[in-house]
Structure 1
Amino acid sequence: MFDNPFSDAELSGRLSAVRGAMAARRLDMALLSTPENIFYLTGLDHWGYFAPHLLIVPMEGEMILVTRQMERVSIEKQVRNALFQGHGDHETAADLAVRVLKDSFAAKERSRAVLETVVSQIEKQTAGTVRIGVETWSSGHSYGFGKALRDSLDTVEWVDITELVDHLRLVKSPAEQALMRKAAAVSDAAAEAAIAMIADGAAERDVVAECHAAMIRAGGEAPGFGPFIRPGGRLGEEHATWGNGAYRDGEPVFIELSGCVSRYHAPLGRLVHVGSIRDEDARMAETVLKAFDAVLRALKPGVRARDVYAAWQAVADDAGLAEYRRHHCGYCVGIGFPPSWTGGNRVTGLRHDSDLEIREGMSFHILSWLMGTGKGDFFLSNAVLLSADGAEVLTRTPNGPTIR
C-alpha cells in the first residue's frame, strides 16, 4: 500500500542473516510463505496475502517472489530485491512455483556438471537431491499448497524451518525501533480518542468510530486486528470487538488496540471505569502497576522469559494471589499482518516455562492482568522496547485508574 520503508543495506543485512541460518542447516534454498517474513525480506506491504505468496530464497543469486499476476504493479513499486513470477487465476501458485523450482534445479545440475568430472556411484545417486526448507506451520502454506509441491518434486529433501526467520525478527534494528515508536504514538492517539468518548450512554459504535478516525489521522495504517473495545460484561470474549450497545454508569470498559506504521505494531490496553471505580478495584490497580514495574525491571539482556514471568508472578503472590496464574505476562510484537498483530499464527509469549533468551532490541506487548480474582479487578498493558538504556515503555497513555 505504501513505499518500501527499508534501505537496500537494511534488506541486504536481513537476507545475509537468513542465508547464514540456512547454511547452518545445510539448505540449498528456503521457501517462505509467512506474510510477515516475506515483508521482512522484501518490504511488500499490501492486502494481497490472502492468496498464496511464496518467496524462494536460494543460497546464492536473486530471490524470486511467486504470487498472482495481478499483483505485479504493487510488487514492482515496492520490491527491489526479488524477481517476480506471476500466475493467472487459471492455475495456482504451486503450479508456477513447481515450474520455477524445476528450472532452478536444472540450472544447478548444469553448473554441477561443469564443475564435477568424476564422482563416485554414491555421489551420482545423491547429486540430484536438493535440500529445501519450508515453513510448514505458516498461515500461507495450506495443505493443498504443500502437497502440490511435494507431489511434483521428487528429488527434494524437505526440512521444516517454521521459526528460522521468525527468530531473526525478534531483535529490531534501529530502523525498526523507529517505526515501533511511531506506531506507539498512533496507539496513544487512538486510545486518547476512545477514552474521551466513553461515558454513560455512549454508543459502542461511536466510541470505536472516533478511535479509528484518530488512528488514521495520526498517521496509522490498518492494524493487524482490533481495536477491541467492549464492556466489562463481555470481557471474556477475548478477541471480540464492539457491539450495538451503549456503555453504562458503574461498569468498566475494556480497551486493547494497536497503532500500525509500515506493519509495525505497538499495542496497549486499559480498563476504563464509567462514573466510578470500586474500592477493591482501585486497590487491585496498585498491585497491577507494581507487577508491571517488576516486569520492566526484570527485562534485561541474557535473562530468560520464564524469569520475567516469575517477576510478575511474585508480585501477585505477595498480594495474596498465589493461586492466580496467567499463560503469559506479555509477548513479542513487531511486524503483523491481518488477522493479528502477534507476528504470525504463533504467539512468542513470556511464559512461566519459556527458555527464550531476552536480548537487546526485542519489543514486547507487556500485560499485567489481574481479573476475576474475587478481590478486585484491573488490567494494564503497554508496548515495551528493550533498548540500550533498559526497558523503554513506548506507549504513554496514562496507566490509570481512569474514570470517565
Structure 2
Amino acid sequence: MFANPFTDEELSGRLAAVRAAMAERGLDMVLVSTPENIFYLTGLDHWGYFAPHLLVVPAEGDMVLVTRQMERVSIEKQVRNALFHGHADNETAADLAVRLLKDSFAARERSRAVLKAVVAEIEGQADGAMRIGVETWSAGHSYGFGHALRESLPDIHWVDVTGLVDHLRLVKSPLEQNLMRRAAAISDIAAQAAIEAIRDGAGERDVVAECHAAMIRAGGEVPGFGPFIRPGGRLDEEHTTWGDGVYRTGEPVFIELSGCVSRYHAPLGRLVHVGAIRDEDARMAEVAGRAFDAVLSALHPGALARDVYAAWQAVVDEAGLSHYRRHHCGYCVGIGFPPSWTGGNRVTGLRHDSDLEIREGMSFHILSWLMGTGKGDFFVSNAVLLGPEGPEVLTRTPLGPTVR
C-alpha cells in the first residue's frame, strides 16, 4: 500500500487491451467503478474506496479519476496515467462526473460526428447516441450513483460492461505473478505462526494475534479478508473468524488466510487437530490430497473449468463419496480489496457447470474440501499459478494431517 507497483509499460498495455475491447463493442467510453479494476488500470491502492470512485476511460485521450477531493495527495503520489478531479463533501461523485461528462460530450460532438454516425449505423441506432459502458454489478456502483448518471444524461446509450476488465485480470503478467509469489511466502509464514500457537488451552484471540503479527512483520499488507481461524464447532459459519473461546484437545481448528502484497493474494487453508486426529479423518486427508493432485493434473491451457471440477469429483467418487458434491473446487484469485480477496463482488469458480477456459497465467485458490461427508472430515487449499511448465503450487505449508 501507498505505492504504485506497476510500470508505465504494464499500465499502458492494460489500457490498450481495455480500449480494444471497447472498440469491439462500439463503445465511446467506459466508466469503471470496481476498486480492483481501478487499481488494475491506475495502481491506486488506498482505503478510500469506501466512497465512490469513477475512472472515466475514453476511447482516446486521458483517463480521468473522480472521487473525493481529500484523496488528492494519495492520487497525485500513486496515479501517473490519469487526470484527477475531486469533489467536495457537499456534493457526490455523480454530480462531478455529470459535469465532466457533459463538458466532454460538447467537445466530442463537434469533432466526432462522422465516427458517431458510423457507429450508429452499425448498431442500428437512428439517433447516433454516444455509447457508454458501465459496470452495473460493482461494489462501487450504487443504485443512487447509477440513477444520478442516467437521469442527468438521458441521451446516452448505456451498455452494461460488467466483467470487461475483470476478464482481462484473469491472466497474470510476469510482474503480477511475482507479486503473488511474494504474497504466498507471507501466507506460509502467517499459517506457520498460527499452527505453532494452537494447543490445548490456547485462546482463539491469541492464536490470531500471533498470525497477524507474523504476517505484518513478514511484509504483508492488510488482506481483503482477515484470517479465518475458528474451531471446528463453528466451521459451517463460513465467513466468520476468531471469538473468545479456548481450543481444547480433540477438536479441529480451521485456518484459511492469505498474505497480501500490493493487493495481490495467495490464499491457503489447513485443518489443524488439537491433541489427536480420528482415524476416519486421517483417511479423509489422504482422499483430499489425491483430489487436490487431480485438480493440478487437470489444470492446463484449453481445459474448461467444469473439466477441472470433474477431475476432483472423480477422485471423491472413487473413494466411496459419490453422494458428496461441492459448489466448486477453487476459484480465480489475485487482486482483492476489503471485504474480499476474490477480486470483487463475484466469485469466478471452478464449477461443474462452468465453461471458463483455463489459460496460462491464471491463478487460483484450489480447495479440496471434504467436510461433512459422514465418513471423515478434512480439507486443504493452496494458491496455484498456471505457468509455462504447468501448475505451480505457490503456498508450501505442509498439507497435514497436523496434530498440535
Q: Mark yes or no: TM-score above 0.5.
A: yes
Letter of the structure 1 residue corresponding to residue 197 of structure 2: M
Letter of the structure 2 residue corresponding to residue 323 of structure 1: H
CA contact 1:226–1:256 (8 Å) conserved in 2: no
* Correspondence 1:308 to 2:308: yes
Q: 1:94 matched to which residue of 2?
A: 94
Write out per-residue CA displacement over residues 39-71 of structure 1, whole angstroms, 9 at most, x where no aligned residue. Answer: 000000000000000000000000000000000
Cα separation, 1, equivalents of 2:359 and 2:345: 22
Q: 1:53 matched to which residue of 2?
A: 53
Write out per-residue CA displacement over residues 176-201 of structure 1, whole angstroms, 9 at most, x where no aligned residue. Answer: 00000000001000000000000000
Q: 2:234 matched to which residue of 1?
A: 234
CA contact 1:42–1:79 (8 Å) conserved in 2: yes
SS of the residue corresponding to residue 67 of structure 1 reads strand
Q: 1:394 matched to which residue of 2?
A: 394
Letter of the structure 1 residue corresponding to residue 185 of structure 2: A
* Correspondence 1:382 to 2:382: yes
Cα separation, 2, equivalents of 1:85 and 1:110: 24
Offset, 1:154? 1.5
Cα separation, 1, equivalents of 2:347 and 2:69: 32
Q: 2:83 matched to which residue of 1?
A: 83
Q: 1:66 matched to which residue of 2?
A: 66
Q: 1:250 matched to which residue of 2?
A: 250
Write out per-residue CA displacement over residues 137-161 of structure 1, whole angstroms, 9 at most, x where no aligned residue. Answer: 0010000000000000012000000
Cα separation, 2, equivalents of 1:18 and 1:331: 23
CA contact 1:259–1:266 (8 Å) conserved in 2: yes
Q: 1:262 matched to which residue of 2?
A: 262
CA contact 1:128–1:155 (8 Å) conserved in 2: no
Matched-pair identity in % = 82
Q: 2:26 matched to which residue of 1?
A: 26
* Correspondence 1:170 to 2:181: no
Cα separation, 2, equivalents of 1:37 and 1:51: 15
SS of the residue corresponding to residue 112 of structure 2 reads helix
Offset, 1:108? 0.2
Cα separation, 2, equivalents of 1:201 and 1:353: 44
Structure-to-structure mapping, 1:5-404, within 5 angstroms? 5-112=5-112, 129-404=129-404
Q: CA RMSD in A?
A: 1.5
Offset, 1:170? 0.1
Cα separation, 2, equivalents of 1:59 and 1:106: 16
Offset, 1:126? 5.2
Write out per-residue CA displacement over residues 322-341 of structure 1, whole angstroms, 9 at most, x where no aligned residue. Answer: 01000000000000000000
Cα separation, 1, equivalents of 2:162 and 2:396: 34
SS of the residue corresponding to residue 384 of structure 1 reads strand
Write out per-residue CA displacement over residues 336-372 of structure 1, whole angstroms, 9 at most, x where no aligned residue. Answer: 0000000000000000000000000000000000011
Cα separation, 2, equivalents of 1:310 and 1:129: 46
Offset, 1:127? 6.2
CA contact 1:109–1:128 (8 Å) conserved in 2: no
Cα separation, 2, equivalents of 1:258 and 1:375: 29
Cα separation, 2, equivalents of 1:278 and 1:392: 31
TM-score by length of 1: 0.97
SS of the residue corresponding to residue 103 of structure 2 reads helix
CA contact 1:268–1:395 (8 Å) conserved in 2: yes
Letter of the structure 2 residue corresponding to residue 16 of structure 1: A
Letter of the structure 2 residue corresponding to residue 159 of structure 1: V
Cα separation, 2, equivalents of 1:152 and 1:103: 13
Offset, 1:3? 1.2
SS of the residue corresponding to residue 148 of structure 1 reads helix
Letter of the structure 1 residue corresponding to residue 106 of structure 2: A
Letter of the structure 2 residue corresponding to residue 65 of structure 1: L
Offset, 1:377? 0.3
Cα separation, 1, equivalents of 2:267 and 2:384: 9
Cα separation, 2, equivalents of 1:356 and 1:93: 35
How many pairs were matched up? 399
SS of the residue corresponding to residue 13 of structure 1 reads helix
SS of the residue corresponding to residue 224 of structure 1 reads coil
Cα separation, 1, equivalents of 2:226 and 2:369: 19
Q: Structure 1 stretches (4+) deviating beyond 4 angstroms?
A: 125-128
Offset, 1:2? 1.8
Offset, 1:110? 2.1
Offset, 1:259? 0.3
Letter of the structure 2 residue corresponding to residue 387 of structure 1: G
SS of the residue corresponding to residue 350 of structure 1 reads coil
Cα separation, 2, equivalents of 1:112 and 1:237: 55
Cα separation, 2, equivalents of 1:39 and 1:33: 10
Cα separation, 2, equivalents of 1:283 and 1:22: 52
Offset, 1:112? 3.4
Unaligned runs of 5+ in 2: none
CA contact 1:29–1:57 (8 Å) conserved in 2: yes
